Amino acid sequence: MEHYLTDNLISGVIYADCLPLSCQQLAAPLPEAALVRLGQENDEILRALFVLSETPRESFNDAADPQQLHFKLNLILDLVSRLYLQSVILPEVVSFRLTGRAIEWRTAEALPVGQAVQLTLYLSDKYPRPLVLAGVVAAVTPLEESHFTVIVTLAPLTESSQDQLDKFIFRQHRRVVAYRKQVENS
């Protein structure tokens, strides 16, 4: 039964990637006020990532074209973020799978089931501000060579944050599907 429950947590539309991720064990679950604050910050981050992921038109006809200005601002942001990343130590890059309700990743640390945790996930090198998620360890599965698969159920997000996270996951999933189709048709 537990296997079904954990499989059910990581089902539906999934965002799978390899990015910097860290997990901090908490003495107790975060209070509601902290979850609301995290939700607001995550909402800002996800909205910024959406704006950055928009692709401008290819042709620039007018020097004052808003698309051209958008492109130039993205270029400057990219350069500044790369400079910033040179001075910051990011968490280890790990393979993970994320849904709107849970996250799964491989780690060398066996976390206790039921443990409250805070996850820090860097979703973009162009905007090196991490998504911070709270949750509870739902399952730990031993793997080979002293590694484990950990599944964390996410603490409830604010409605806006949940909506933004679901949209982000869907967009990333859709891009992978489009890439697969492109490769198949090549």
Supply the pLDDT for residue 7: 59
Q: Report the run of H or E that residue 186 belongs to, with start and end.
A: none
State how far the Cα of 180 lies from the Cα of 124, in Å rounded to an integer. Answer: 21
Supply the pLDDT for residue 58: 52
The two three-digit tokens of residue 34, written as one number: 């902290």
User: What are the average pLDDT values for consecutive 10-residue runs of the chain, which has 186 residues?
Assistant: 51 92 97 95 90 63 66 74 77 95 94 98 88 97 90 95 95 92 89
Per-residue burial over 6-33, b = 16 or more CB atoms within 10 Å of its CB, e = otherwise: beebbeeebbeeebbbbbeeeeebbeee
State how far the Cα of 14 lies from the Cα of 162, in Å rounded to an integer. Answer: 14
State how far the Cα of 95 lies from the Cα of 78, in Å rounded to an integer. Answer: 24
Q: Measured between alpha carbons, how far is residue 157 from residues 41, 43, 99, 147, 161 in Å?
A: 11, 10, 13, 29, 6
In this prediction the pTM is 0.81
Name the DSSP letter for residue 113.
Answer: T
